[in-house]
Amino acid sequence: MKAILLSFSVILLSACNQQTISYKEISQRTNGSKDIVQEFAKQLKEKLQTAIKDGGALNAISVCNEQAPFIAKQLSEQSGWDIHRTSLKHRATKPDAWETTIMQSFEQKYADGDKFKRLFAQDVVEINNKPAFRYMQAIETKKICLLCHGESIAPELASKITELYPDDIATGFKLGSIRGAFSIVQYLD
Ligand code: HEC
């Protein structure tokens, strides 16, 4: 009974939150999120390509290890939102419950044949009693990603990754599959 009451109140809460934000605002916040994701992906891709060209994949680990969190931090500061990447099979950043559910739904849609541009989701939820707009967008595994996330990783690269991330489970990805997702939190007050 308690569980039923609890889930009922959660539904009520999220229903209330939905009303505090108009469809127009949801669409504005979604578009703002998409822009930031595009910028994040662009900066990361440039850094990654340059680093691999200059010194190989081993050199590029520092891009992912240091630059990715740094770009995310910079964009978060500029926008006032929390911007990060996560994955069901993660190397550094574990997903929370909402992110896990959304990424599972992306996997389902992907299996049903949806294209990447349709793999995004948004919602208004409570995080620590604070209303927040959340957005997620799936990230495709490109050829370059396989170097460090694929099925066969060069031995010295693999040992560097294990050294930095002993709990790494972000390997074994196939070209074109979902590597993870960008995730954005915009607090509403
Ligand atoms: C040179 C090795 C390397 C390459 C190439 C690489 N990554 Fe990564 N990736 C990493 C490392 C290291 C991390 C952990 C970053 C951190 O500490 O935040 C990571 C983390 C991630 C994460 C965050 C989620 C998690 O697992 O913690 C995503 C998503 C991701 N990579 C996607 C990609 C995609 C997409 C590509 C291709 C465009 C790519 N990576 C290419 C090494 C790499």
What is the distance between the alpha carbons of residues 164 and 159, in angstroms, rounded to a whole number?
Answer: 9
pLDDT reading at 21 higher than 90: no
How do residues 118-161 score in pLDDT, each as one tens digit? 999 999 999 999 999 999 999 999 999 999 999 999 999 999 99
- Give me the phi and psi of 186, to 5 degrees please: -115, 105
pLDDT reading at 39 higher than 90: yes
Residue 160 identity: K
pLDDT reading at 54 higher than 60: yes
**What pLDDT is attached to residue 37?**
97
The token pair at 99 is 């992110």
- 88, 125, 91: which is closest to 110 by C-alpha? 88
Residue 19: pLDDT band with limits 50, 70, 90: very low
The mean pLDDT value for 167-183 works out to 98
Contacts of 121 (CB under 8 A, 6+ apart): 102, 105, 106, 135, 136
DSSP state of 19: H
Ligand 1 atom index nearest CA of 147: 5
**H or E segment to which residue 121 belongs:** strand 120-127
Residue nearest atom 40 of ligand 1, based on CA coordinates? 145
Do the Cβ atoms of 138 and 116 come closer than 8 Å? yes
Residue 55 identity: G
DSSP state of 143: G
The neighbouring-strand residues paired with 86 are 181
Residue 59: pLDDT band with limits 50, 70, 90: confident
**What pLDDT is attached to residue 15?**
47
Residue 55: pLDDT band with limits 50, 70, 90: confident
- 71, 54, 51: which is closest to 62 by C-alpha? 51
pLDDT reading at 27 higher than 80: yes
Report residues whose beta carbon is within 6 angstroms of any ligand 1 atom.
48, 57, 60-61, 64-65, 68-69, 85-87, 90-93, 139, 141-142, 144-145, 147-149, 170, 179-180
Question: Strand 120-127's sheet: what is its strand order?
Answer: 82-86, 178-187, 130-140, 120-127
